[in-house]
Structure 1
Amino acid sequence: MSKPIVFMFSGQGSQYYHMGQKLFSENTAFRNCLLNMDAIVTRRIGKSILSEMYNPAKRISDPFDRTLYTHPAIFMVEYALYQVLFEKGIQPDYVLGTSLGEFTSAAVSGVLDAEDAMECILEQAIIMEEHCREGSMLAILDHPQLYNEFPQIFDQSELTSVNYHSHFVVSGENEKIKMIINFLKEKHITHQMLPVSYGFHSSLMDPAERTYKEFLRSKSFKSPSIPYISSLSGDRVTEIDHYFFWDTVRKPIQFPQAIHYLESRHTCRFIDLGPSGTLAAFAKQLISEDSGSRCSSIITPFQQELKNLETVENLLKLERK
């Protein structure tokens, strides 16, 4: 029996300029989906996301961090890649989302359609820009116990996710995150700023809560038609309540628990449909050495998505024989 296929969708911090551009140039399904979604966004905010995302004046290394643009851009790329795989007959047995990626999981699993998901995403970005102070997120590549060991870290930030045994993320005000960076440099601890404008999954989001919850109360959500594993709870979700999509941006991420939930039940084929392949990299660190599960990514900053897509197709064909 072939391994159950798990589609994984990442959130803020995984984006960059020109993500998926080779697929956009050469894959009709990917391009058409992006164009259709871009038209929806342009009608709503008067700005083409594709013109920003594929701006020839921008380099991949330039920060792509305005939430009003990056929120829809991440969803567009993930959902378009899903459409590519769907056309090739590759469908998930499970979906697994983290943070903003929960919206893509929801669209793929039938909780809401893609246009409704985009409306929720845009509204969230607009409300955040209206109500929240800007903030930062910082990945620290060391053991998570470090967070509780040093007041220079825990007094200045909030723990937003523990991704594996030597990688965790904190959110905080810009000046406080700068203080943490100075401390980490003194201690020679590896760290990386995420390309975001807000301190997601922290109390810095709270000023947006009332307005966004009011918006969500006007929406209705269906039960998932594909088993839905959420990084909000770390296990399977069968019903989506009105405030689920607020909680996914406010509460900490439980990605390791979600992987362990699946690993305890199946030997899986994890496929990362995010822009950077970060969830596949995290999952590889979480899967035990004796596991038969495997992880693949398609789109990465190295722009090898056409080759990676072909590799995933071939692997799945072999496993199904």
Structure 2
Amino acid sequence: VSGRDEVGLRAQAGRLREHLIGRPEAEPVDVGYSLVTARAALEHRAAVVGASREELLAGLQLLAEGAVGGSQVVRRGRTAFVFTGQGAQRVGMGGELYAAFPVFAGAFDAVCAGLDPLLPRALGGVIAGGEGLDETGFTQPALFAVEVALFRLLESWGVRPDVVAGHSIGEVAAAHVAGVLSLEDACVLVAARAGLMQGLPAGGAMVAVEAGEEEVRALLPGGGLVGLAAVNGPGAVVVSGAEAAVEEVVRVLRSRGRRTRRLSVSHAFHSPLMDPMLEEFGRVAEGLDYRPPRIAVVSAVTGELADEQTLASAGYWVRHVREPVRFADAVRALENDGVTTLLELGPDAVLTAMADAAVRNTDAVVAVPALRARQPESRTLLNALGRLFTRGIAVDWQAFYDGTGARRIDLPTYAFRRDRYWL
């Protein structure tokens, strides 16, 4: 629903609701299709998502009464897709989308077809059943598969980013959809990365601390036992390495009143404990074919827009395993590039809060999660799609409704505002 201003939009929502109450035979799918294909999309927009006619009518009433957030004014800016990293995985992730959307299912199956010969067991069964999903050897391929399928589904609806970025393994998904790596080569890189990490001796620790990068760096001991794994925000850093060395850093921070949280991981990623795998991983990366990106990529290794030579270097992907994830810098680079909407592609809203904390102008830049843990996947994704549309991002609604049997029906004309002036 849209209007020239907030008052007009509310009036339009109320008018539509009254029209539909008097026409119980109107199918919701036909109403939605007619609204987005036969009506101008004006500057003030809102979207109502529901699983039944009653729920949709209730949503229109709340919108008409101003009892919900109301409309969003279209923002002219660039769009970024950011891909979630390890830790967001959950049993059954993507299953609801797989059942609901053939495009998602086809893309997911294509990724699994590329990964399964490289893994000890079929990836789909691991995700559905959960056994082994938290093992790095499966976690990273599973996230890659779900995130690529999410991208392909949104792409089929005409939603395309101007720039992409990712957190750790998420950056491999970003590089693939940007065209840097074919699906075959991306699967090889992901499987090798995950398998070699899994094969390292278990141990080490990763702890998220509420402190700035400079404060934490000053506490890091020499000897190559501990380092920074991630800089996720101005006061959000992850320390990673040998357990005793990490605990000593954490002890000092706690004594200063800093909050800390130990991460549940099998290995100390992005730390010196990764060094034994780097040479072999480099040989795998050397054997891949890198292509110029079709979509701009912001690197979370450098925190800057990556050029073609950087992304086409096997050495870059080795650094990507070992060096800190500079996600906060990547978000600021996106903001500096004119991005006003960040859509997080992953099974949970992990990067959304980090991005909100990292951006300088929270009024101009909004982060939206495509999925959230413990919430219905289709509803969450459609809410995200509606929110993107209200911010002015193009959606191919014809493609969205393709195959649903939706048809155009008569709907009320625009609720024009009229003021009468008496002599």
Query: Which whole-Å CA distance do the structure 2 matches of 1:68 and 1:311 have between them?
Result: 32
Moved more, 227-236 or 173-182: 173-182
Task: Report the Cα offset of residue 15 of structure 1.
Answer: 1.9
Query: Which whole-Å CA distance do the structure 2 matches of 1:320 and 1:210 have between them?
Result: 43
Distance 1:267-1:117 versus aligned 2 partners, 3 A rule:
closer
Partner SS state of residue 302, structure 2 = coil
1:216 aligns with 285
Structure 1 or 2, whichever has the larger Rg, is: 2
Distance 1:165-1:113 versus aligned 2 partners, 3 A rule:
same
Query: Which whole-Å CA distance do the structure 1 matches of 2:366 and 2:242 have between them?
Result: 37
Select which of 262, 267, 289 maps to 1:198.
267
The one-letter amino acid paired with 1:119 is V
Task: Report the Cα offset of residue 73 of structure 1.
Answer: 0.6
Query: Which whole-Å CA distance do the structure 1 matches of 2:305 and 2:339 have between them?
Result: 16
- Does residue 298 (structure 1) correspond to residue 370 (structure 2)? The answer is yes
Query: Which whole-Å CA distance do the structure 2 matches of 1:102 and 1:212 have between them?
Result: 16
| Percent of aligned pairs sharing the same letter | 26
Query: Which whole-Å CA distance do the structure 1 matches of 2:148 and 2:139 have between them?
Result: 14
Q: Deviations over 1:194-246 (max 9, x none)?
A: 34322111111111111111121111211111111111111111222122211
With normalisation by structure 2, the TM-score equals 0.68
- Does residue 314 (structure 1) correspond to residue 383 (structure 2)? The answer is no
Structure 2 unaligned blocks of 5 or more: 1-74, 395-423
1:43 aligns with 117
Select which of 132, 138, 144 maps to 2:207.
138
With normalisation by structure 1, the TM-score equals 0.87
Task: Report the Cα offset of residue 71 of structure 1.
Answer: 1.4
The one-letter amino acid paired with 1:284 is D
Moved more, 84-93 or 18-27: 18-27
Q: Deviations over 1:234-265 (max 9, x none)?
A: 11112221222111111111111111122123
- Does residue 110 (structure 1) correspond to residue 179 (structure 2)? The answer is yes
1:11 aligns with 85
Contact 1:132 1:207 (C-alpha < 8 Å) held by counterparts: no
1:33 aligns with 107
Q: Deviations over 1:116-161 (max 9, x none)?
A: 1011111122223345554332212344455256579x99731122
2:191 aligns with 122
Task: Report the Cα offset of residue 27 of structure 1.
Answer: 2.4
The one-letter amino acid paired with 1:257 is D
Moved more, 235-244 or 68-77: 235-244
- Does residue 274 (structure 1) correspond to residue 343 (structure 2)? The answer is no
Equivalences for 1:13-92 in 2 at 5 Å?
13-55=87-129, 64-92=133-161
Partner SS state of residue 243, structure 1 = helix
Contact 1:132 1:205 (C-alpha < 8 Å) held by counterparts: no
Task: Report the Cα offset of residue 293 of structure 1.
Answer: 1.4
- Does residue 93 (structure 1) correspond to residue 162 (structure 2)? The answer is yes
Moved more, 2-11 or 176-185: 176-185
Distance 1:148-1:120 versus aligned 2 partners, 3 A rule:
closer
- Does residue 247 (structure 1) correspond to residue 319 (structure 2)? The answer is yes
Partner SS state of residue 216, structure 2 = helix
Equivalenced residues, count: 316
Partner SS state of residue 271, structure 1 = strand
Contact 1:159 1:252 (C-alpha < 8 Å) held by counterparts: yes
- Does residue 286 (structure 1) correspond to residue 358 (structure 2)? The answer is yes
The one-letter amino acid paired with 1:54 is A
2:332 aligns with 260
